[in-house]
């Protein structure tokens, strides 16, 4: 698919990788962004006035449903849905600063809202031929680390969900893709890890993945991780444990 003159819906498009996606897709495509209210969202609207914005904190599933309903009511076709938004909490279960309420928030943003948006926007996606659902995943879906257990679990769930959904939609015009990212230099990863790729590089690779065939795209160090997982699962697990 050539990514020109498409209507693309992006979650979390006000900062990080989502903002870079907007920058690189804007002008040649119609963009709708679903993101929580923030100064970043206000800046996005000011800098990119042709974008349609639907405000929703993705941890609030009622707001997710409302945003999807509002989007459907515009009667616009949807060519591509990019489920990009995610949140990661670092404290371990034994840490004093771990907060119980973060469990539900992390699961809802990273997984439940993804399932909901796909279901609610699927009728609009099916009308287009072809159309794409791109779920943004992580190398941690392949092998988890010791910290951020809930985050790792949501990414593992997203991986299996995407595969199963792809089976369900095989007879339709909707293609389900996943992109597996290494550590990206965003606010979410500030102060953690090294050898990060820039968000603009991640966005460029994701857009390139949309135009290629195949349901799974590995970026950067994830290619090495995938190979290592095949050759020595134990070594891959040990490597990622302390990531």
- The confidence score (pLDDT) of residue 214 equals 76
- Encoded tokens for 214: 């195949």
Q: Quick check: is 176 in a domain?
A: yes
- The confidence score (pLDDT) of residue 70 equals 96
- Encoded tokens for 184: 């990206």
Q: Quick check: is 2 in a domain?
A: no
- The confidence score (pLDDT) of residue 243 equals 76
The rounded average pLDDT for each run of 10 residues, N- to C-terminus, in the chain (243 residues) is: 93 93 96 94 94 96 97 93 95 94 97 98 94 96 94 98 97 96 75 75 89 84 92 92 81
- The number of C-alpha atoms within 13 Å of 150 and in the hemisphere containing its C-beta is 22
Q: Quick check: is 1 in a domain?
A: no
What are phi and psi for residue 94, nearest 5 degrees? -90, -5
Domain range enclosing 202: 7-241
Q: Quick check: is 27 in a domain?
A: yes
Q: Quick check: is 228 in a domain?
A: yes
d(CA 46, CA 40): 10
CATH number for the domain harbouring residue 37: 3.40.50.720
- The confidence score (pLDDT) of residue 189 equals 63
CB count in 10 Å sphere of residue 175: 20
What angle do the packed helices 16-25 and 199-210 form, to 10 degrees?
A: 60
Q: Quick check: is 123 in a domain?
A: yes
- The confidence score (pLDDT) of residue 186 equals 66
**Which pTM does this prediction carry?**
0.93
């Amino acid at each position: 698919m050539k990514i020109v003159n498409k209507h693309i819906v992006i979650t979390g498009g006000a900062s990080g990788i989502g903002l870079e996606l907007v920058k690189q897709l804007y002008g040649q495509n119609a963009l709708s962004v679903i993101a929580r209210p923030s100064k970043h969202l206000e800046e996005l609207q000011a800098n990119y006035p042709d974008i349609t914005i639907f405000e929703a904190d993705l941890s609030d599933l009622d707001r997710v449903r409302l945003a999807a309903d509002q989007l459907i009511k515009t009667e616009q076709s949807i060519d591509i849905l990019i489920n990009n938004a995610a949140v990661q909490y670092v404290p371990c279960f034994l840490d004093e600063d771990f907060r119980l309420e973060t469990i539900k928030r992390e699961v809802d943003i990273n997984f439940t809202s993804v399932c909901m948006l796909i279901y609610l926007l699927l009728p609009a996606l099916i009308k287009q031929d072809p159309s794409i659902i791109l779920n943004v995943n992580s190398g941690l879906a392949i092998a988890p680390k010791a910290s951020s257990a809930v985050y790792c679990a949501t990414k593992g769930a997203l991986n299996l969900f995407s595969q199963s959904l792809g089976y369900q939609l095989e007879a339709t015009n909707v293609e389900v893709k996943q992109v597996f990212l290494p550590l990206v230099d965003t606010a979410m990863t500030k102060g953690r890890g090294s050898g990060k790729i820039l968000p603009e590089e991640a966005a460029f690779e994701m857009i390139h993945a949309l135009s290629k065939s195949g349901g799974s795209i590995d970026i950067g160090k994830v290619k090495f991780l995938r190979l290592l997982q095949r050759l020595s699962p134990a070594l891959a697990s040990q490597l990622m444990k302390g990531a």
